[in-house]
Structure 1
Amino acid sequence: MNSKQQNPLKKILAIRGMGAALTAFVGLVIIYIAFGLINPAVFSGQNILNLLRSMSKYLLIGIAQSYVLITGNIDLSIGSMVGMSAMIAATLMTGGMSPILAILIALLSCLVIGIINGYLVGKFKLPPFIATLGTMFVARGIAYMVNGNRNTDAIATGVGKETADKFQNFFYYGKTIGVYNTFWLAIIVFIIFFFVLSKTRTGRHIYAIGSNVDAAKLSGVNVVATTIKTYLISAVCSCLVGLILCAQAGMGNMEAGNMYEMYGVAAGVIGGVSPLGGTGILLGTLAGSAVWQTLENGLNMIGAQVGIQRVVIGVIVVVAVLLDVVVRSGQFGKRKNK
C-alpha cells in the first residue's frame, strides 16, 4: 500500500531536472519570506503585481535560452534581438504603420536571425558562442540603423494616442482579472513551450541532442532541423520581450535588451537547466526567473545598492552551475564503478 502511494512522487522526482526545479521553488519561498520580514511592503498586493509583471520578461528570456541550453548550445544574440524587435516595431509605428503589421515585421526579422543561428550551429558546425556572437552584433547593428542611430519618438506620434494606448495596454500596462497582461502573455507562452518540450517528439529530440549528439544522429534525430527549431523559439520569445519593452517605454530604445542573453542564462541555470546540455525543465526556468526577480525586487526594497544585487545574483548563478557539475561528476563516477 505504501509503495503504491510513493510511486507517483517517485515518478515526479525521476523527471529530468525536477529535483532542481523543486529546490528553486523552495528557495523562492524562503527568499520571499525573508525579504518580507525585513520590509513588510514586499508582501503588498501592488508589489506582488509588479513583481509578476517584471518576472515575465525574465521568464520569456529564460524560455528562449533554456531551449538552446538543453541542446548544449547557447544564444548570445537574444538581447540584441530584443533591442532589434523594439526598435523595428517602434520605428514602423512612429511612421504610421499599424501595430499589428509592425509586430509581424519585427517578428519576421527575429525569425531570420533565429534561422541563421540554427544553420550556422546545426548545419555548418560553428561553435554556438562564435555564431551567435556574430549575429548578436548584426542584430544590435540593425537596432541602431533602423532609425538612423537614434531612439525613436513616442509611438503615439505616428499611430495616435488611442492606438498607442491599446498597444501599450496589451503588452504592459493593461490588466486582465486584476493581473497585468504581461504576466498572462508570458504564462501562455510558457504553457505552449512547456508542452512542446515535455510532450512532443521535438522535445525528446532536443533532450537527445543535448545528452549525446552522436547517439541522437544514430537514432534518426534530424539534428539540424531540431537545432534550428530551438533558435526559432529563442527568436520568438526575444521578439515578445522587445515588444514588451517598447510598450513599457512607449518608444524604441537602441539599447533595449542589453545583457538579456545573460539574464536568460541565469533564469534557466538557477532553475536547474544545465549549461552542459541534456538536463532541465521549463518549470525550473519558471522558478529561476521568479527567484531572479524576487532577489532583485527584495534587495531593491531593502535599499541594497545595484552592485550588491548583481554580486548576489552572480554568486547564485555560479553556485547553481557548480552544483550541476558536481552532480554530473558523481553520476559519471557511479557509472564507472558499476
Structure 2
Amino acid sequence: MKKRSSWKRFFEIKGMRNALTAFAGLVVIYIVFGIINTKVFSLMNFLNVLRSMSKYLLVGIGQSYVMITGNIDLSIGSVVAMSTMLVAKLMTMGVHPALAILVALACGLLIGVINGFLVGKFKLPPFIATLGTMFVARGVGYIVNNNRNTDSINSTLSKPVADHFQNLFYYGKFLGIYNTFWIALIIFIVFFFILSKTRTGRHIYAVGSNVDAARLAGVDVNKTTTITYLVSAFCATVVGVILCAQASMGNMEAGNMYEMYGVAAGVIGGVSPLGGSGLLLGTFAGAGVWQVLENGLNMVHAQVGIQRIVIGVIVVLAVLADILLRNRKKN
C-alpha cells in the first residue's frame, strides 16, 4: 500500500504528468527516426545529440525560471552573443580564459539585474523591458570588436591554453560523453534543486500563480523576479562560452532565436507560459525533443523550413493543451 501511495503522490506532483508525457514523446520520436534511418541510433550521433541539446537545455532552464513567474526573457539570445564576443575578444587580447569568462559573466548578470528591476520594481511589461535589453546586449556584442567577428583565439593564446579552453567546454569528453553535456547537467541539477526544494523555488511558483497573493503572503516579488532573470542571464552566458569554444572565435550573430529555443524547450516540457506551473524535468525532456526532432529531420534530409514548421506546430499545440487544461480545471 505504501509503495502504491508513493507512486500516486509522484504522479500528483504539479507538472509531473506533462514532464513524463514529454519524455514519452522524446522516446517515440527518437525510435521513429531511428527506424527511418538507423544512423540515428549510432553512438556517435547519440553523443552529438546530447552535446547539441545542452545549449537548448541551458536556455530552457533560464527561460523556464522566468516563465514560471509569468514573465518572459527576450534578451537571452543577445546575452549569448554578447558573452561569446566578450570572451573571444578578451582572449584574443591575451587575457586568460578564466578571467575572460568572469568578465562576460559579470556583464551577463548585469543584464539580468536590469531585467529584474525593470520588470519587478518598475512594473514594465516583460516583453518591453527585455526587448530593450535584447537590443542593448546585442549592441554591446557588435561594439566589442568594431562591428565584426573576432579573430580566432588560437591566434593569440598559446596552443595548450586554447586547446584546454575548447576541450573543457566543447570538444573534450569525460566518461565517453562530451563535457558540454556534463556542464549543462550539473547546472540543471543545481537549478532543479533550487526550484523544487528551496524557499526561493516556492516563492517563484507563488509569484507565477498569483503575484498579489504572493505579496500579501510576504514574498519579496521584486527580489524573486530578479533572481529568475539572473538565472536566465547566467545560463545564457554559459551558452555564449560554449559557442566561443565551439567556433574558437566570437560571432556577432551567435544566439539568434535562442530566447525562442528556450521558450520551446520549456513549453514542450509542460512549463506554462501563463506562470505558476511546470518542472525543470519537463524542460530537460523538451530540450531533448527539440534536438531529436532537429537531428532526425536533418538525418532524413528534411528542409530547414519543414523543421521550423514542425517545431512551431508542436509549441502551439503544447500551449493550447495547457490553456485547455486550465480552463477545464476552472469549470
TM range (shorter): over 0.9
Paired position in structure 1 for 2:69: 71
Aligned to 2:319: 321
Counterpart mapping for 1:1-338 below 5 A: 1=1, 4-333=2-331
* Local SS of the residue matching 1:72: coil
SS in 1 for 2:301: coil
User: In the aligned structure 2, how far is the partner of 1:214 from the partner of 1:309?
Assistant: 41
Structure 2 gap segments, 5+ residues each: none
Deviates more, 1:5-14 or 1:182-191: 5-14
- Distance (Å, rounded) in 2 between the aligned partners of 1:328 and 1:6: 27
Percent identity, aligned pairs only?
A: 70
Which amino acid in 1 is paired with 2:145?
N
In 1, Cα distance between equivalents of 2:290 and 2:191 = 21
CA distance in 2, matches of 1:274, 1:72: 8
Residue 336 of structure 1: aligned partner: none
Q: Deviations over 1:278-328 (max 9, x none)?
A: 000000000000000000000000111110000001000000000000000
Separation in 1 of the partners of 2:26 and 2:111? 34
Contact 1:81 1:140 in 2 (8 A): yes
Report if aligned partners of 1:271, 1:284 keep a CA contact under 8 Å in 2: yes
Instruction: Give 3-state SS (helix, strand or coil) of 1:253's partner.
Output: coil
Q: CA deviation at 1:183?
A: 0.3
- Measured in 2, the distance between the counterparts of 1:185 and 1:80 equals 21
2:77 is aligned with what amino acid? Answer: G
Q: Deviation string for 1:192-243 (max 9, x for gaps)?
A: 0000000000000000000000000000000000100000000110000000
Deviation digits for residues 91-146 of structure 1 (CA, Å, limit 9, x no counterpart): 00001000000000000000000000000000000000000000000000000000
Count of aligned pairs between the two proteins: 331
Query: In 1, distance between residues paired with 2:138 and 2:188?
Result: 26
Contact 1:55 1:290 in 2 (8 A): yes
How far did 1:67 drift?
A: 0.1
Q: What is the deviation of 1:254?
A: 0.2
Residues of 2 paired with 1:128 and 1:216: CA distance?
Answer: 19
**Amino acid paired to 1:283:** L
Which secondary structure state, in structure 2, belongs to the residue aligned with residue 226 of structure 1?
A: helix
Pairwise CA distance, 1:5: 3.2
Question: Residue 304 of structure 1 aligns to a residue in which SS?
Answer: coil
1:6 shift after superposition = 2.1
CA distance in 2 between partners of 1:123 and 1:16 (Å): 29
Instruction: State how far apart, in whole Å, the 2-side matches of 1:332 and 1:223 are.
Output: 26
- The answer to whether the 8 A contact 1:71-1:207 is kept is yes
Tell me, which stretches of 5 or more residues in structure 1 are unaligned? 334-338
Contact kept? 1:97, 1:158, Cα under 8 Å: no
Q: Which amino acid aligns with 1:116?
A: I
Question: TM-score w.r.t. structure 1 length?
Answer: 0.97
